[in-house]
Amino acid sequence: MSGIPSELAGLAFFVVTGWVALWPARRTMGPVAYHLAALPTGLLAAAVASSVGALTNRPLDLVSAAGGAIVLAVVVQLLLRYLGTPAVGMKEVRPVSFALAAASGGVLASVFGVLRLTVTNNDSVMSYWPLGVELARKGVLTPGLIATRSVLIPSMNAIYYSFGSEWAYVVYPMLAATLLAWLAMTLLAGPLSSLKPHTAWTIVGVAVAALVLEPSFLFHSVFVHSHMISAIYLLMSLTCVWLAARPAHGGETAEVDRTYLVLAGVFATGLMLARPDGLAYLFVPSAAAMALIARPKVELKAVAAYFAPVYFMLVATYGVAYLELGMWLSGKLSGKRTLAVLLVVLASAAGPWVVAWLDKRLPFRITGERFQSIFVAATAALMVAALLIKHTNAREALANAWLNIFAGHGGYNYLWWGVLALLLLSLLTHDALRRDSWTRSPFLSIVLFYVIALVVHGISHAGRVGAGDSLNRVVFHTLPVIVWYLAAVAGRIFGDQEKALPAVQ
Amino acid sequence: MRSITDWRSRPTAENLLLLAVAVCLAIAAVRAVFVLVAVPTAVYADSQAIAAAQAAGSTVPTQTVLTRIGESAAWQSWWGGRVVPFRDGGDYIGVMWHSQPTRTVGAVIGVLIERDRAKGVKIDRVVVPMDEEALFGQPPGALFTRPDGTTFRSQWAHIDRYARSFTDVPVERRAYAPFLDSAKAAALAAKTHLTLRAHDFFMADPVPGSSGTWVLYSRQGASREYLLVPQELMTAGGAS
């Protein structure tokens, strides 16, 4: 049996790494966000550790893991110190909060450890875990690892293996619990912050209940795969962008909180490295961040705040993979394909200046939040073109997606019909595209995710009918973001009424 | 006095949206409550039926509570046909095996080899069947029926390749007949003191001073079983 001590040791390693890395941001984040973000941040050390192991020609053992943790912590600390916005009069993180966080996290992890619930498919058993064991024993990056799974999860498994684990499983429900708490915390700190406490907490309670009652959320909480990890990084990177913007506080003239932009970039790298197609989904938080930093007058520090963590992680993982493997071959994510996407990612840091330059010359404005709408529309047009070119594969992919997501074969019952209805209704309430709001960027991010998903699956991977289909599992990544968005819409509705109340009383 | 729950002060679209949220949440809650009531009831009824069958002298396949939960109609409808979480076996590699197709046997062997070597068991080489038809005695893709009536198709496993992810011990493919009938398996179990290491996977006690070569055998009984036996103890199957 996989021992609970090894599960707890792995978690403690990642949490401590996260604590150290995020130390300069603690006052801006406050104790709750700081402690919640520690595990997802520390987890990224695994990806760096695989490169440390590969470059030093040693297995991904505890020495390589420590090396990865130190490199990650130093880089994130430097980025937060030099690119973040200095915290003024913010919340202090007291020493006792570390004890509380460690105790509550330890108890929760022990409960999950004793329950020993886990779910696997072939990817879990034949790929994620063996690749981790192989990394721990040999430390060699292979084309199969980079192309089919990406480095984050196998490297995480390698570190667990080095701690004596025979099957890492507690981290998944821990990430699910972190996701729920982060969702609640960011809603209260963001769109619901101006509501009366009982209204805000009621909305948060409903949002959390909506996820907890959804079988797919419970399933992915114990599923040894990339989905809960992708979902939490997507939610965290996007919410950090939105908290950096704090809409309704001055629009394009308001100062951006660069500390949250650095955090958004850090968490976006988790999304990027959790799965091979994470490189494509990286454009979802990137478009939201660009909408924030592509202003008529571009601030270099704001651009660097988001893109520097992304560049660092690209060099630390894919850069090392090219050094070790050259131009690797694969039917999935080959070296050439990866390079093409990487070049777009690298070039996108110049985007804010290009947008500002075009904005001055075009008859209509494209900076600020208009950028995200234009980017989504342009990507959707590209999607249609790509699907028409690859129409045979696209037709099969769309047919499978329809059967899985809407016709009940994917195990969601009527979930996505409800989601579709609610998203359409939010268009009618004008929240979906409302300017300078908490809801516009989330709506556009959700749409962009599906556009990218349809491109990825429409041109290359038609999938199959059944709950195990890749796209059918990938759509789950958006579920927490959708819940966050709908809670923000509800917050806006009740907020409007609360504001109107004194006038009618 | 008006309050924020006053729907008349809101536009119709906003009321519709809030109503839709409430309806979705109510459906989710009702379904969850139904599952919480119906599944334990079904599992209890199932337990009673098994106890009655055992009292009547019938052979009843062993099933964990989680397996029985997964088989209840209310659960399946709510869970959407996904894999049911599991925890039985006391060993995740074994549990994996219980729920996964034959491909996982290589991973299981790899893990068990390393575990037993760490305890001092001499394992220098493992022999696995080369002939893909021999593993179940049927060609690949043949339809099999489990004791519970559900069916599966056999799928060839690259045992050696998957075992390599977990162990440096050579896993060698040879042509031999690894399929045992019940009588041979029972005789083998009695002779070798096979130990249950993981669900459906057995390893024999090592032979003192043995060569360290172990051979993989398989049998389809009440459940699919795999046997890893020291070469010196092997009498059935004719390992080369």
B92 contacts in chain A (CB < 8 Å): 1-2, 116, 118, 166-167, 169
Residue B139's pLDDT is what? 66
Q: Looking at CA atoms only, how far is residue A430 from chain B in angstroms? A: 9
Residue B2's pLDDT is what? 52
Q: Which residues contact A241 (CB under 8 A, 6 or more apart)?
A: A260, A261, A264, A285, A288, A289, A292, A306, A441
Residue B88's pLDDT is what? 53
Q: Looking at CA atoms only, how far is residue A164 from chain B in angstroms? A: 12
- For residues B43-61, average pLDDT: 78
**B201-203/B224-230 β-pairing:** parallel
Residue B86 has what DSSP assignment?
B
Cα radius of gyration rounded to whole Å, chain B: 25
Looking at the partner chain, which of A166, A209, A467 has a beta carbon nearest the beta carbon of B92? A166
Q: Looking at CA atoms only, how far is residue B23 from chain A in angstroms? A: 9
Which one of A121, A122, A126 would you mutate to disrupt binding with B, by most B Cβ within 10 Å of its Cβ?
A126
Give residue-wise pLDDT tens across range B129-158.
876 655 555 666 677 776 556 666 665 567
Q: Give the span between the Cα atoms of A242 and A191, in whole angstroms.
A: 10
**B201-203/B195-198 β-pairing:** antiparallel
Phi, psi of B91 (to 5 degrees): -160, 115
- Closest chain A residue to B162, measured at CA: A126
Give residue-wise pLDDT tens across range A220-236.
999 999 999 999 999 99
Q: Any idea of the CA torsion for A357, A254, A307, A159, to the nearest 10 degrees?
A: -160
Lowest mean pLDDT of A44-48, A49-53, B112-116, name the range. B112-116
Residue B204 has what DSSP assignment?
P
Q: Are B231 and B211 in contact (CB under 8 A)?
A: yes
Q: Which among A52, A51, A49, A54 is positioned nearest to A65, based on CA atoms?
A: A49
Q: Which amino acid is at B100?
A: Q
Residue B214 has pLDDT above 70, yes or no: yes
Q: Give the span between the Cα atoms of A318 and A302, in whole angstroms.
A: 24
Q: Give the span between the Cα atoms of A401 and A417, in whole angstroms.
A: 13
Q: Which of residues 264-323 of A touch B (CB under 8 A)?
A: none
Residue A167 — very low, low, confident or very high, per pLDDT cuts 50/70/90?
confident
Give residue-wise pLDDT tens across range A379-421.
999 999 999 999 999 999 999 999 999 998 899 989 999 999 9
Residue B238 — very low, low, confident or very high, per pLDDT cuts 50/70/90?
very low
Residue B87's pLDDT is what? 65
Residue A504's pLDDT is what? 46
Q: Does A215 touch chain B (CB under 8 A)?
A: yes
Q: How far is CA A101 from the centre of its chain?
A: 22
B101 contacts in chain A (CB < 8 Å): 122
* Token couple for A283: 């454009």
Q: Give the span between the Cα atoms of B49 and B58, in whole angstroms.
A: 11
- For residues A327-338, average pLDDT: 88
Residue B231 has what DSSP assignment?
G
**Between chains, do A210 and B24 touch, taking CB under 8 Å as contact?**
yes
* Token couple for A118: 């886990």
Residue A81's pLDDT is what? 96
User: Quick check: ipTM above 0.85?
Assistant: yes
Q: Does A111 touch chain B (CB under 8 A)?
A: no
Residue A222's pLDDT is what? 94
Residue B151 has what DSSP assignment?
E
**B143-145/B151-153 β-pairing:** antiparallel
Phi, psi of B215 (to 5 degrees): -125, 140
Token look-up 């199957």 returns B237
Residue A299 has pLDDT above 80, yes or no: yes
Residue A27 has pLDDT above 80, yes or no: yes
Query: pTM (2 decimals)?
Result: 0.90
Burial of A411 (0-12, 13-18, 19+ CB in 10 A): buried
Higher pLDDT, A359 or B188: A359
**Between chains, do A130 and B25 touch, taking CB under 8 Å as contact?**
no
Looking at the partner chain, which of A115, A206, A501 has a beta carbon nearest the beta carbon of B2? A501
Residue B59's pLDDT is what? 64
Residue B104 has pLDDT above 80, yes or no: no
For A233-291, the DSSP string reads HHHHHHHHHHHHH-SSSSGGGSPP-HHHHHHHHHHHHHHHHHSTTHHHHTHHHHHHHHH
Residue A302 — very low, low, confident or very high, per pLDDT cuts 50/70/90?
very high
Check residue A61 and give left, alpha or beta (phi > 0: left; psi -120 to 50: alpha): beta
A498 contacts in chain B (CB < 8 Å): 4
Looking at the partner chain, which of B11, B17, B96 has a beta carbon nearest the beta carbon of A426? B17
Q: Give the span between the Cα atoms of A105 and A173, in whole angstroms.
A: 11
B111 contacts in chain A (CB < 8 Å): 166
Looking at the partner chain, which of B2, B17, B101 has a beta carbon nearest the beta carbon of A489? B17
Q: Give the span between the Cα atoms of B126 and B129, in whole angstroms.
A: 10
Instruction: For residue A432, give Cα distances in angstroms to A422, A435, A438.
Output: 11, 9, 10
- For residues A18-40, average pLDDT: 96
Residue B240 — very low, low, confident or very high, per pLDDT cuts 50/70/90?
very low
Could you give the 3-state DSSP secondary structure of residue B216? Answer: strand
Q: Give the span between the Cα atoms of A472 and A120, in whole angstroms.
A: 16
Residue A71's pLDDT is what? 98
- For residues A1-13, average pLDDT: 86
Looking at the partner chain, which of A1, A209, A414 has a beta carbon nearest the beta carbon of B25? A209
Residue positions counted in chain A: 505
Residue B206 — very low, low, confident or very high, per pLDDT cuts 50/70/90?
confident
Residue B94's pLDDT is what? 58
B91 contacts in chain A (CB < 8 Å): 1, 166
Residue A118 has what DSSP assignment?
B
Residue A24 has pLDDT above 50, yes or no: yes
Q: Give the span between the Cα atoms of A76 and A25, in whole angstroms.
A: 10
Residue B239 has pLDDT above 80, yes or no: no
Q: Does A505 touch chain B (CB under 8 A)?
A: yes
- Closest chain B residue to A411, measured at CA: B80
Instruction: For residue A264, give Cα distances in angstroms to A140, A288, A292, B19.
Output: 30, 10, 12, 34
Could you give the 3-state DSSP secondary structure of residue B11? Answer: coil
Looking at the partner chain, which of A166, A425, A494 has a beta carbon nearest the beta carbon of B111? A166
Phi, psi of A367 (to 5 degrees): -80, 175
Token look-up 């099999």 returns B144
**Between chains, do B165 and A133 touch, taking CB under 8 Å as contact?**
yes
Q: Give the span between the Cα atoms of A100 and B35, in whole angstroms.
A: 35
Looking at the partner chain, which of B11, B83, B166 has a beta carbon nearest the beta carbon of A119? B83
Q: Give the span between the Cα atoms of B69 and B51, in whole angstroms.
A: 17
Distance between start and end Cα atoms, chain A: 64
Helix, strand, coil share (%) of chain B residues, nearest 5: 45, 15, 40
- For residues A193-210, average pLDDT: 96
Q: Does A167 touch chain B (CB under 8 A)?
A: yes
Residue B219 has pLDDT above 60, yes or no: yes
Residue B236's pLDDT is what? 45
Q: Which residues contact B108 (CB under 8 A, 6 or more apart)?
A: B93, B94, B96, B97, B198, B201, B226
Q: Does A216 touch chain B (CB under 8 A)?
A: yes
Phi, psi of B146 (to 5 degrees): -80, 165
Q: Give the span between the Cα atoms of A104 and A227, in whole angstroms.
A: 24
Residue A1's pLDDT is what? 43
Q: How far is CA A77 from the centre of its chain?
A: 20
Q: Among A435-439, A479-483, A500-504, B199-203, which range has the highest average pLDDT? A: A479-483
Residue A189 has pLDDT above 60, yes or no: yes
Could you give the 3-state DSSP secondary structure of residue A202? Answer: helix
Residue A29 has pLDDT above 50, yes or no: yes
